[in-house]
Amino acid sequence: MSFSGGRGQFLYITACWRQSERPKTTSVQIPKPLTSQIWIILALTWASFVPQIKHVWQTKDSRGISTAYLLFNLLCITEHVFFHSLDIAYLWDVSKFPSAPVSVSPLDWVNLAQVLGDWVLSNVLFALCLSYSPPTRPHRRLRTLLVLALYCFFLLFTLVPLILDLTTDVFCPPNHPHDCLLPERDVVPFLRGIHCYFLLPLTTVILPVLGIFKQVQRQRRQLQQGQRGRQQQQQQQEEEEPREQAMRIPPSHPPTPTTPTDLNGLLARSRLFQAAIFALSAILWIFRLPPGQQEREDDPPPPDAPLLPRPWLLVFLHWWMFMGYMTVDEAIFAIGQGVLGYLALRKAAEADGRSEGEEAERRPLLVAAEERSTYESAS
């Protein structure tokens, strides 16, 4: 069968109208220097996930990373894959008609490749964090199963029906079971309408912002737990071994650390790097998905009477729903990663300052104990 994505009459016409506002030969005409920048950003966005995946893989520990933060970001990028794949399917089908005003350009494939790469790498990080999540609480395993169930349930309404629609005839009507026409398949366009008007604000704006707050709370809670653990360890050492005995008999081997690895501190700089990359990518999405103001050769001449300007809020909502959600979403992700990286670096600097202060306070006591020990041995 043909590679078909849009099936509802209204949404099919809407998609054709949306794409027909672009130039005839390619989807977007952009300068060659900007094209090279897009390829560089494409490679850097994929590379920005590698340090985080590497740290989780090496430490075998995901404490300090909120599961809700990972899940909400994964739902957002899954929504991107759904819309971009469906747009490519629309363009592919419309380009088969005679004198089609649109065609699938290399830039469309680059856009799809970026969101697919981000989705795959986000799934890898998500799976590693769930696998290496320590069962410190009784309900931890139940929470992991619940998170996986929510993600699988979301896939049933996004990528699963889309893949079935693109590869099989399962959505064709009974009276035309094979190679049916575009308007005869209504499942995927119906889902697209639900996603556009109901799920898009939730999965691409509300949940990512909520995930940032959940991750900030998780980092603060981990910092407080680490401070309490160090205090308890220090108190136990002071109670078990008197200071004078510890000064006279040095330990045969250094004590092993019992505090868990601060994964957020390890990921701080990689998060700042990822924030910078996604901020640049968000800016470039404005040029990769313009609001469709280019003129084509077959466009009718503009009317003599100027049209009344539309309210800016309606213009923004129209731009965001059809094209601008990628810019907004990646900007939100960049801000979140930047905030998380900054907080982790600041907490690490404060912890280093406290340790240096405690060492400076202990130094006179150690010198006095050493002098007393020397005096007792001499006498």
**DSSP structure class, residue 309:** P
Work out how many domains the chain is built from and give that number. 1
CB contact burial 333-370 (16+ within 10 A = b; e otherwise)? bbbbbbbbbebbbebbeebeeeeeeeeeeeeeeeeeee
Residue 176's pLDDT is what?
A: 72
Compute CA distances 357 → 235, 353, 354, 361, whole Å. 18, 6, 5, 6
Residue 158's pLDDT is what?
A: 92
Residue 295's pLDDT is what?
A: 41
Residue 360's pLDDT is what?
A: 47
Residue 168's pLDDT is what?
A: 80
Structural domain span for residue 361 = 9-233+261-293+311-378
Sole residue written with tokens 């994505």:
5
Residues of the chain with pLDDT under 50: 1-28, 244, 249, 251-259, 291-298, 360, 365-367, 375
- Give tens-digit pLDDT for 111-126: 999 999 999 999 999 9
Residue 166's pLDDT is what?
A: 81
Q: Would you say residue 337 lies in a domain?
A: yes
Q: Would you say residue 80 lies in a domain?
A: yes
Give the whole-angstrom CA distance, residue 144 versus residue 89. 34
The string of DSSP letters for 126-181 reads HHHHHHT----STTHHHHHHHHHHHHHHHHTTTHHHHHHHHH--TTS-TTS-SS--
Q: Would you say residue 303 lies in a domain?
A: no
Percentage, residues of the chain above pLDDT 70: 63
Q: Would you say residue 82 lies in a domain?
A: yes
Q: Would you say residue 250 lies in a domain?
A: no
pTM of the model: 0.75
Q: Would you say residue 241 lies in a domain?
A: no
Q: Would you say residue 349 lies in a domain?
A: yes
Question: With 0-12 CB in 10 A as exposed, 13-18 as middle and 19+ as buried, what is 17?
Answer: exposed
Sole residue written with tokens 């697209």:
192
Residue 88's pLDDT is what?
A: 87
Q: Which residues contact 74 (CB under 8 A, 6 or more apart)?
A: 119, 122, 123, 126, 151
For residue 122, which of 193, 208, 59, 188 has the smallest C-alpha distance? 208
The string of DSSP letters for 9-78 reads HHHHHHHHHHHHTS-SSSS----HHHHHHHHHHHHHHHHTTHHHHHHHHHHT--TTS-HHHHHHHHHHHH
Phi, psi of 55, rounded to the nearest 5 degrees = -65, -45
Q: Which residues contact 43 (CB under 8 A, 6 or more apart)?
A: none
Q: Would you say residue 255 lies in a domain?
A: no
